[in-house]
Structure 1
Amino acid sequence: MKTEAKIISLLRELRAEGKTMLVSTHNLGSVTTFCDYTVMVKGTVPASGPTDTTFTAENLELAFSGVLRHVTLNGSEESIITDDERPFVAHRPSAVQREER
Structure 2
Amino acid sequence: MKQKKIPMRKCVASGEMKPKKELIRIVRSKEGEVSIDPTGKKAGRGAYLTKDKDIILLARKNNQLSKHLNAQIEDAIYEQLIELVEKEKQSSHE
- Give the greater-gyration-radius structure (CA): 1
Which protein has greater RCO, CA pairs closer than 8 Å, 6+ apart? 2
TM-score by length of 1: 0.25
Q: Structure 1 or 2: larger helix share?
A: 2
TM-score by length of 2: 0.27
